[in-house]
A and B are shown apart, each in its own frame.
Chain A
Amino acid sequence: MVMNRAAILLLAACLLDGCAHNWPLEGHGGLAERDKPCDPAIGQALQAIEYLKSTPGLRPPSKVAAAEERLIRASRESQAGLYADASHSYDEAVQMLGTDPQNVRRPRQICTLNNNQEGR
């Protein structure tokens, strides 16, 4: 009887310890710019960047370069599910290009990748 109780106690202790320690979900978006942006607004902005890069003189090249980096970050954040951050980065990129963020379409689409994977 005593041995049965001890065995149950040992098993419970092991299970409690292992199951209580959960890992976060697997991350995404680290190289999101390699894929088509899941948000069309970011996609359009990146197309605008490409146009500006191919047409010198419309915008300062340093601004275009900085805006492109910021859009890459927005794309990554969007794919990683950091929507508020993605929206903020997008606004910054638009601002760098000299456009009023209020007048551009904001990224609203929520990327649904495999964000529900559980850790081991």
Chain B
Amino acid sequence: MGKITITALRLFITLVWLATNGTAHADEAKLRIGDIIAISLPGEEVLTGDFPIDRRGEIQLPEVGGIKLTGMSLPQASSAITAKLGTAFRDIGRLSVRVKESKLVVAVGGQVKLPGTVELPGDANVQVAITAAGGIAAGAQLDGTKIIRGSKVILFNYKKFLDTGDASILPQLEPLDVVFVPTSPLTGNVQIDFDAQTLARAGDGADEAKAISVFGEVINPAKFSYKPESTVVDMLMRAGGVTRYASVEQIRIIADGKPVLFNLQEYLDSGNANKLPLLKPGATIFVPIQEEQIRKGKHTVYVMGEVAKPGAFALQEGATFVDILANSGGPTRYADIRQIRILKSDGSVVMFDMNAFTEGKGGAIPDVKAGDAILLPEKVENLEPSWLKIPSSRVVQVIGAVYKPGRYEWSDEMTMFDLIAQAGGPTEQGDLSAIRILKNKDDIFKPQIFNLADFIKNGGSAQSVPKIHAGNVIIMPELPKDPTDNKSMWLAQSPARSIYIMGAVNSGGRYAFSSEMGFLDILTAADGPSKTADLRNIRISNRGGKLSEVHSFDFELYMETGDESLLPRVKNGDVIYVPDREQDWTERSVENTVRVIGAVAKPGRYKFTDRMSILDLLAEAGGPNELALQDRIVVVNIGKEAKASYFDLISFSRTADYSKLPVVRNGDTVYVPDQSQSHWNRFMTGVRDTSQIVALVAAIASL
């Protein structure tokens, strides 16, 4: 019972103390601008009402004017008001003064949505003021907010308040304070309507000196505000994380001018926080791109050379050589998969012929372990710099008119076509019709000629293609350049591969010839026959055999009939001679000419065809001269039988009786006698001679 009484007594005392102190506290509160003072004086309506303390700290009362109340407690204010009113009113003993409402007037400026003066409850804080101003606008620098109180500036970290909810971070507002929310420097000097996501990506590092710069292969490179408890991983996460190309094993952190390498992969694999480097204010984090650095690790294999995606690959348990090769995109078309090399971590080299393996010709898939390197060399070209290392017994040499002459490593599985293709193929001047293969046997080279042009055109058995072996030499000859421009080029042209054309042509000479060409090609190459060419008697000397065979070709007959079978077949080494129609008659053969002798302008041997007549012949010989006995032109036919006949040109010219034209053929003779051979002349000669004899006899008789 006694205990209960004591407890109740203590409780009573406490309540009384609280009540007294609370009232005292309220009375002692200083009045501020914005407080509303409620005054009541019964019987005086003008003095009954609410009177706010204005910006000057005064209330305005009727008759007495302004009374400054700020800084006073309520009793002090009541006394001041009573004293002031006592000067104008009587009976103010019933005057009552109390604080009806406490209000706070502040201005909110900067990066808020509705900057301006706001009227707040007396106990409002900064957050209430900002909210009354519409809230924070995008682009605000939350850790740089400030309150301007007269000439005093109070900085505070509003972001920190938002993060922690710690109201003590916020300064106590006072009337007429200016709450200023600055703009983030990352927004630059250009007014842009920012969205929150963009701004967040741009980072929040307003303090240049302390902000952490994160760039490289991260999603949102930016400057972020430094926090002592932040780690590199936090910063990377704030930057949106790393990209798929990031080299997470080679992240570089620069702090205090010293770079530190951070292996994020290793940290994530181990979970060891000791591997996290210390992040200092102002540090720079750089995440390099994967290709720009060297990956190295105890689980790494390297694939180099002619693969689609060379690089370092993490070797998973159970992964084979084929898996690794497939991950690297596989060999490119330039890869020499016969010469794959596995460079073991212990320094040894394992060769692998993937081609043979895929063809089932043996070999086993090589074992690849972490630290090994797989090299797929390029097919041939990359061997060139080290050609000295390849002995001649393993190469074939390709020289002459190909695009890439040189030494080529040879495998007997390849063909001559592979080799020519590898050498870039023949140049435009390459002569495919006479590829020369020098084969070495017992240190003696023997040539073999292969007509690839003919093979390409007509095909043929694969057996007919020369077999190439290492040590052979392939020579692609070059077609001669135009020898008419530079005849010295003929020296470079093999006689066995030339054809000759001479005589009555415009550009006689020696021309390169192939089996694909014909007589017309050569005649055209020689710029055709000259105007005086005797096209009926073109001679071709075939020089292929031991003895040359000479054939005649009537080109005019070919032109008349178009008979292709007339065209002579010519080949390299042959000689074509086109005679001149105006050649001296003594140069013409007897069998193919008609002799015209006697009293004509141009006696000689003349060409004659079976469509000509004696009239053509006489015209060709310039016609009978003035002494000719024109009515007794004699034709002597010499064939199976010999016979003579005469032709009366004078009579023919009068009668045009062509049935009296004598037959003339090659080998015959036409004789045009002169007038001394006429009967009258012969008679007169006889008379003269006889008269001389008679005179002589008479003279002798008179003796």
Do these two chains interact? yes
Chain B residue contacts of A62, Cβ below 8 A: 554, 557-558, 561, 563, 565-566
B residues 682-697 near A (Cβ < 8 Å) are 682-683, 685-687, 689-691, 693-694, 697
Q: Is B611 an interface residue (CB 8 A)?
A: yes
Which of B562, B658, B679, B694 interacts with A61 by CB under 8 Å? B562
B residues 587-617 near A (Cβ < 8 Å) are 609-611, 613-614
Which of A24, A60, A65, A73 interacts with B645 by CB under 8 Å? A24
Chain B residue contacts of A27, Cβ below 8 A: 635, 645-647, 660-663
Chain B residue contacts of A35, Cβ below 8 A: 659
Chain A residue contacts of B658, Cβ below 8 A: 30-31, 34
Q: Is B128 an interface residue (CB 8 A)?
A: no
Which of B563, B641, B659 interacts with A84 by CB under 8 Å? B641
Chain B residue contacts of A80, Cβ below 8 A: 637, 643, 645, 662-663
CA of A77 to CA of B668, assembled, Å: 12
Q: Chain B: which residue is nearest A87 at the CB level? A: B640
Q: Chain B: which residue is nearest A71 at the CB level? A: B610
Q: State whether A25 and B645 are in contact (beta carbons under 8 Å apart), knowing that A10-B691, A13-B693, A72-B610 are contacts in the complex.
A: yes
A residues 72-96 near B (Cβ < 8 Å) are 72-73, 76-77, 79-85, 88
Which of A28, A73, A84 interacts with B662 by CB under 8 Å? A28
Q: Is B6 an interface residue (CB 8 A)?
A: no
| A side interface size, CB within 8 A | 46
Q: Is B632 an interface residue (CB 8 A)?
A: yes
Q: State whether A31 and B682 are in contact (beta carbons under 8 Å apart), knowing that A61-B563, A62-B565, A85-B641 are contacts in the complex.
A: no
Q: State whether A26 and B639 are in contact (beta carbons under 8 Å apart), knowing that A60-B565, A73-B610, A120-B679 are contacts in the complex.
A: no
Q: Judge whether A17 and B685 touch: CB under 8 Å.
A: yes
Q: Judge whether B663 and A26 touch: CB under 8 Å.
A: no
Which of B561, B563, B661 interacts with A30 by CB under 8 Å? B661
Q: Judge whether B613 and A30 touch: CB under 8 Å.
A: yes
Which of A25, A60, A65, A76 interacts with B663 by CB under 8 Å? A76
Q: Judge whether B663 and A77 touch: CB under 8 Å.
A: yes
CA of A100 to CA of B367, assembled, Å: 84
CA of A60 to CA of B560, assembled, Å: 12
Chain A residue contacts of B660, Cβ below 8 A: 26-28, 30
Most buried by A among B554, B683, B690, B697: B690
Q: Is B644 an interface residue (CB 8 A)?
A: yes
CA of A113 to CA of B691, assembled, Å: 43
Q: Judge whether B686 and A17 touch: CB under 8 Å.
A: yes
Per-residue CB contact flags for chain B residues 612-653 toward chain A (1 = under 8 Å, else 0) read: 011000000000000000001011010111011111100000
A residues 13-27 near B (Cβ < 8 Å) are 13-14, 16-18, 21, 23-27
Chain B residue contacts of A119, Cβ below 8 A: 632, 646
Q: Judge whether A69 and B561 touch: CB under 8 Å.
A: no
Q: Judge whether A28 and B659 touch: CB under 8 Å.
A: yes
Q: Is A66 an interface residue (CB 8 A)?
A: yes
Q: State whether A10 and B694 are in contact (beta carbons under 8 Å apart), knowing that A28-B659, A84-B641, A113-B659 are contacts in the complex.
A: yes
| B side interface size, CB within 8 A | 50
Q: Judge whether B641 and A30 touch: CB under 8 Å.
A: no
CA of A21 to CA of B563, assembled, Å: 52
Chain A residue contacts of B679, Cβ below 8 A: 18, 21, 120
CA of A6 to CA of B702, assembled, Å: 14
CA of A84 to CA of B645, assembled, Å: 17
Q: Is B665 an interface residue (CB 8 A)?
A: yes
Chain B residue contacts of A77, Cβ below 8 A: 639, 663, 665
Chain A residue contacts of B691, Cβ below 8 A: 10
CA of A27 to CA of B637, assembled, Å: 10
Q: Judge whether B663 and A30 touch: CB under 8 Å.
A: yes
Q: Is A63 an interface residue (CB 8 A)?
A: yes
Q: Is B701 an interface residue (CB 8 A)?
A: yes
Q: State whether A13 and B686 are in contact (beta carbons under 8 Å apart), knowing that A2-B698, A26-B646, A65-B557 are contacts in the complex.
A: yes
Q: Is A9 an interface residue (CB 8 A)?
A: yes
A residues 48-76 near B (Cβ < 8 Å) are 60-66, 69-70, 72-73, 76
Q: Chain A: which residue is nearest B685 at the CB level? A: A17
Chain A residue contacts of B689, Cβ below 8 A: 13, 17
Q: Chain A: which residue is nearest B701 at the CB level? A: A2
CA of A120 to CA of B561, assembled, Å: 46
Q: Judge whether A30 and B566 touch: CB under 8 Å.
A: no
Q: Judge whether A85 and B640 touch: CB under 8 Å.
A: yes
* Nearest CB of chain A from residue B641's CB, rounded to whole Å: 5
CA of A8 to CA of B558, assembled, Å: 68
* Nearest CB of chain A from residue B315's CB, rounded to whole Å: 79
* Nearest CB of chain A from residue B642's CB, rounded to whole Å: 9
Q: Judge whether A88 and B609 touch: CB under 8 Å.
A: no
Per-residue CB contact flags for chain B residues 556-576 toward chain A (1 = under 8 Å, else 0) read: 011011110110000000000
Chain B residue contacts of A63, Cβ below 8 A: 563
CA of A101 to CA of B611, assembled, Å: 23
Which of B565, B613, B641 interacts with A31 by CB under 8 Å? B613
Q: Is A41 an interface residue (CB 8 A)?
A: no
Q: Judge whether A29 and B662 touch: CB under 8 Å.
A: yes
Q: Chain B: which residue is nearest A59 at the CB level? A: B563
CA of A16 to CA of B690, assembled, Å: 11
Q: Judge whether B659 and A26 touch: CB under 8 Å.
A: no
Q: Judge whether B686 and A14 touch: CB under 8 Å.
A: yes
Q: Judge whether B647 and A26 touch: CB under 8 Å.
A: yes
Q: Chain A: which residue is nearest B683 at the CB level? A: A18
CA of A30 to CA of B613, assembled, Å: 6
Chain A residue contacts of B613, Cβ below 8 A: 30-31
CA of A83 to CA of B610, assembled, Å: 17
* Nearest CB of chain A from residue B54's CB, rounded to whole Å: 130
Q: Is B664 an interface residue (CB 8 A)?
A: yes
Chain A residue contacts of B562, Cβ below 8 A: 61
* Nearest CB of chain B from residue A83's CB, rounded to whole Å: 8
Chain B residue contacts of A64, Cβ below 8 A: 561
* Nearest CB of chain A from residue B638's CB, rounded to whole Å: 10
Q: Judge whether A23 and B663 touch: CB under 8 Å.
A: no
* Nearest CB of chain A from residue B281's CB, rounded to whole Å: 104
Which of B560, B614, B635, B647 interacts with A65 by CB under 8 Å? B560
Chain B residue contacts of A73, Cβ below 8 A: 610, 665
Chain B residue contacts of A10, Cβ below 8 A: 687, 690-691, 694
- The 10 tightest CB contacts between A and B, nearest first, are A27-B662, A30-B661, A27-B645, A17-B686, A62-B563, A13-B690, A84-B640, A61-B561, A85-B639, A80-B663
* CB<8 Å pairs between A and B, sample of 22: A13-B687, A14-B686, A14-B687, A18-B683, A21-B682, A24-B634, A24-B643, A26-B648, A27-B646, A27-B661, A30-B662, A31-B659, A60-B566, A63-B563, A69-B609, A70-B610, A76-B665, A80-B662, A82-B639, A82-B643, A83-B641, A120-B679
Q: Which residues of B contact A (CB under 8 A)?
A: 554, 557-558, 560-563, 565-566, 609-611, 613-614, 632, 634-635, 637, 639-641, 643-648, 658-665, 677, 679, 682-683, 685-687, 689-691, 693-694, 697-698, 701
Q: Which residues of A contact B (CB under 8 A)?
A: 2, 6, 9-10, 13-14, 16-18, 21, 23-32, 34-35, 60-66, 69-70, 72-73, 76-77, 79-85, 88, 113, 119-120
- Other A-B contacts than A9-B697, A23-B646, 15 sampled, CB-CB below 8 A, are A2-B701, A10-B694, A17-B683, A17-B685, A18-B679, A23-B634, A26-B646, A29-B661, A29-B663, A30-B614, A31-B658, A60-B563, A69-B609, A73-B610, A113-B659
